[in-house]
Chains A and B, each alone.
Chain A
Amino acid sequence: MIRRVKQRYLALKIESVESFEEDDIKDAVWNAVTQLFGEYGASQAGLFLIQYDRERKEAVLRCSHKALPMVQASIASVTLMKDKPVVMHVLRVSGTLRALKKKVGD
């Protein structure tokens, strides 16, 4: 029997003077994971951008439970997005999307 893959949901805050599109966020995170852990590591991360609020500069990302430390390290290592300085902070981590929204206060 195949075991269900546990997921983790991460609430992110993007800090920059510029505003970015959804694809820029995806590219930045994927590039960071690939740079730090290679294609093999990225294949285990199971990254998926659930939602992105352009006005509030907040995003929700899903990743595999086992790859959480790897994804957190990669997110912290992002310094540039489209050649503009940027910081991505992980606000909260949760096991369900509903709990995450409750924790972040959405």
Chain B
Amino acid sequence: MTKFVDLHLCAPFRNVEQLKKMVTKSFELGYRSVGIPLPPNVELDEVECLRKICSEAGLDFVSRVDLTPKNTRELLDNLRRLRRKFEVVSVLCMSKPVARQAAKDRRVDILSFPVAKPRNRFFDSAEAELASESSASFEIDMMSLLSLEGFLRIRLISSLRREVAIAKSFHVPVVISSGAANDYLLRRPHDYSALAMLFDMDLSLALSALSQVPLSIVERNRLKLSPDFVAPGLRVVRRRDP
């Protein structure tokens, strides 16, 4: 059975009532793992509380941080401080230098771009080439597709169509996530894959963007964050008793 992952469930993590509602809804809709964006200064016990709420609902919790750096220096500082604290690191690229730096940095898992400003969507072939070398993924938040209307939605679909074609040609993995801030914006994985046809993603690619791709990001990072990890392809199997 396919394990669907929603890597960007924007549940208000301090509002436990709403959080529980959204997490339960995600499970009902067929997801088995959710990534909830957390503030960089989140306490460890808050993360454990979230993990507990998710496991009670039958979901695997993935800690995620969304970085919105103003410049490359801020991005590098944030990555140095936060990489080992979160399982998934996403960068919202607001400027071209930030986008380029994020695409070539192996510590960045997900690249996302602002919806409101199409001129600030820097996912072009140069960006995709850098991202394919560093194994960063390109994220599509479906929330914006559902909440926008008219000309703004037309413009977004057009940008996404171009970006998905670029991602495909440079073998950049695409992640589809909900980005939902309330339960009315949550949809089933198959509904999202149907919506993905709007920007020319075929069904198999869309389903993999909802399952295999996010799952591989989480597994890769969990392996790296585990104390047994030494280097890619090398891990501690057994320790001698002291």
Smallest CB gap from B157: residue in A: A36
Q: What is the bound-complex CA distance between A76 and B197, given in angstroms?
A: 12
Contact residue among B186, B188, B192, B198 (Cβ-Cβ distance under 8 Å from A36): B198
Contact residue among B149, B185, B194 (Cβ-Cβ distance under 8 Å from A73): B194
Q: What is the bound-complex CA distance between A61 and B41, given in angstroms?
A: 48
Contact residue among B149, B183, B187, B203 (Cβ-Cβ distance under 8 Å from A76): B187
Place the interface of chain A in its size category.
10 to 19
Place the interface of chain B in its size category.
10 to 19
Residues of chain A within 8 A of B147, CB atoms compared: 79
Complex interface bits, B174-200 against A, C-beta within 8 A gives 1, otherwise 0? 000000000111111011101101100
Contact residue among B145, B149, B184 (Cβ-Cβ distance under 8 Å from A86): B184
Q: Is B146 an interface residue (CB 8 A)?
A: yes
Contact residue among B146, B149, B185, B188 (Cβ-Cβ distance under 8 Å from A90): B188
Complex interface bits, A52-91 against B, C-beta within 8 A gives 1, otherwise 0? 0000000000000000011011011101000001110110
In the complex, the answer to whether B187 meets A69 with C-beta atoms within 8 Å is: no
Smallest CB gap from B203: residue in A: A69
In the complex, the answer to whether A73 meets B198 with C-beta atoms within 8 Å is: yes
Which residues in A have some Cβ–Cβ distance to B below 8 Å? 15, 35-36, 69-70, 72-73, 75-77, 79, 85-87, 89-90
Interface pairs (6), CB distance under 8 Å: A35-B149, A70-B197, A75-B194, A76-B191, A79-B147, A87-B184
